[in-house]
Amino acid sequence: MAATLAKADDRGPRSIVILGATGSIGKSTADIIAGAKEAFTVAAVAGGRDPIALARVARDLGAKFAALADPSGYAALKDALAGSGIEAAAGPDAVIEAALRPSDMVMAAIAGTAGVGPTYAALSAGRTVALANKECLVCAGPAFVRQAAAMGTRLLPVDSEHNAIFQALGDSDLAMIEMMTLTASGGPFRTWTAEAIAKATPEQALQHPNWSMGPKITVDSAGLMNKGLEVIEAHYLFGIEAERLDVLVHAQSVVHGLVAFRDGSVTAGLAAPDMRVPIAHCLSYPRRLTTGARRLDLAAVGQLTFERPDFARFPALRVALDALRAGCGLPTVLNAANEVAVAAFLERRISFHDIARLVEQCCEATLADGTAHDPESVADALAIDHIARERTQALLAQGSTFGMVTAC
């Protein structure tokens, strides 16, 4: 069953909480809100380790509460907010408090599994959640879907691909959908040979041609692992099985998602590659905002090209799709192992090619020892995540090799 998506809300200014306010999505969210101050108020903002940046966002948006995940930054945050009337707090519990502040919508943009707990807290409190943290569904999809259904809580997809599909779907019957397609830019290595990709440096992997993102997601995009994670997310978000989910490489990043129906028609979501477009759609849904986001000029683009992903050159996508089909909690394992592997690559401890290899080793090892299972709760998912991280670190040290991921 898919999580419930947001319905109309015609009350006055919407009260927003921004989790991950100092990251790329958080900054774009703040930009949208600052340009439409009559439409929004900000109840709380939360950030990770930068108290000065968080204080600046809180002041600019007139937030009532600011929470820093790193408790050591509390004094600096409090000093930076002195005289503003904005309440300051720090530590993991403070981020949860920010998520629970009374609001109409929570922008869930904390990167990685650190965002799972606060987002789930907001969901459980009945908040509309604009979901920019894919780990919530990749790591704990079954638990999030069950809780959303139980609470009647609403999810809106912020990722450009899922947002495009959401808009293209409209009120369509899921049974009449033949295929949902997410597009991938192909990243900086789209035309590279397998040999060249295997030797890629962190600097090369971080040179995305179309998007400006954080280092982890940029590396994921370079290897198409990000697209695999997004397919898993779409599976839970839209309640559609893996067999009806597809990926196309689309270098221009103009068509973000397509929906093919059983009558032969296809609808698609198009926009310039600017995250302010899906963010604005979520913040104002079902209304529309006038924003300063980049406009799409198809004549200037000139042509739109599409190609099938090459699993031989980009094995991370295959590994992710295999994990989704296998089930048994492997998406949770995959996500955890990938975070460890990407960090190791950025630290120059492994090659780019080793990222997918290491993630697949961890998934296969989990199946081999009989511990694989679908998480029954967020706590269970985080426990699986912890074990997978430890296993991946051990595999890094051992250099072991396992075979292909198969269903359990």
Is the overall model pTM greater than 0.95, yes or no? no
Looking at the predicted structure, is the pLDDT value of residue 7 above 90?
Answer: no
Average pLDDT, the chain: 92
Provide the percentage of residues in the chain whose pLDDT is more than 90: 83
Amino acid 261: pLDDT: 97
- Residue 265: both structure tokens together: 């028609």
CA 328, CA 323: separation in Å to the nearest integer?
A: 9
Amino acid 332: pLDDT: 96
Q: Which residue has the higher pLDDT, 344 or 404?
A: 344
CA 66, CA 369: separation in Å to the nearest integer?
A: 44
CA 237, CA 144: separation in Å to the nearest integer?
A: 9
Amino acid 405: pLDDT: 45
Beta strand segments in 174-330, E: 177-184, 245-249, 255-261, 266-270
H-run or E-run covering 297:
none
Amino acid 11: pLDDT: 61
CA 339, CA 331: separation in Å to the nearest integer?
A: 12
Amino acid 12: pLDDT: 79
Name the residue with tokens 């890094």.
396
For residue 226, give the nearest of 253, 186, 197 by alpha carbon: 186
Beta-carbon count within 10 A of 135 CB: 26
Domain-wise residue ranges, the chain: 4-162
Q: Which residue has the higher pLDDT, 65 or 135?
A: 65
**How much is the average pLDDT of 99-118?**
95
Amino acid 154: pLDDT: 81
Amino acid 8: pLDDT: 41
Which residues on adjacent β-strands are paired with residue 45? 18, 66
Amino acid 294: pLDDT: 87
Amino acid 378: pLDDT: 94
- Answer whether 73's CB lies under 8 Å from 90's CB: yes
Amino acid at 344: A
Looking at the predicted structure, is the pLDDT value of residue 343 above 90?
Answer: yes
Looking at the predicted structure, is the pLDDT value of residue 341 above 60?
Answer: yes
Pairing of strands 266-270, 255-261: antiparallel
b or e along 345-359 (b: 16 or more beta carbons within 10 Å of the residue's beta carbon)?
A: bbeeebebbbbbbbb
**How much is the average pLDDT of 250-278?**
96
Least confident range from 24-33, 35-44, 202-211, 267-276: namely 202-211
Amino acid 408: pLDDT: 57
CA 184, CA 313: separation in Å to the nearest integer?
A: 14
- Answer whether 40's CB lies under 8 Å from 13's CB: yes
Full DSSP string of 40-64: EEEEEEEESS-HHHHHHHHHHHT-S
**How much is the average pLDDT of 15-27?**
96
Amino acid 370: pLDDT: 83
User: What dihedral angle (degrees, nearest 10) is formed by the CA atoms of 13, 17, 20, 24?
Assistant: -10
Question: Which pLDDT band, with edges at 50, 70 and 90, does 10 fall under?
Answer: low
**HSE, side-chain direction, 13 A CA sphere, residue 320:** 30
Instruction: Give the single-character DSSP code of 307.
Output: B
**How much is the average pLDDT of 124-146?**
93
CA 330, CA 362: separation in Å to the nearest integer?
A: 9
Provide the percentage of residues in the chain whose pLDDT is more than 70: 95
The matching CATH number, chosen from 3.50.40.10, 3.40.50.720, 3.60.20.10, 3.30.930.10, for 4-162 is: 3.40.50.720
Does residue 286 have a cis bond before it (omega within 30 degrees)? yes
Looking at the predicted structure, is the pLDDT value of residue 399 above 80?
Answer: no
Looking at the predicted structure, is the pLDDT value of residue 4 above 80?
Answer: no
- Residue 176: both structure tokens together: 């009449």
Question: Which pLDDT band, with edges at 50, 70 and 90, does 398 fall under?
Answer: confident
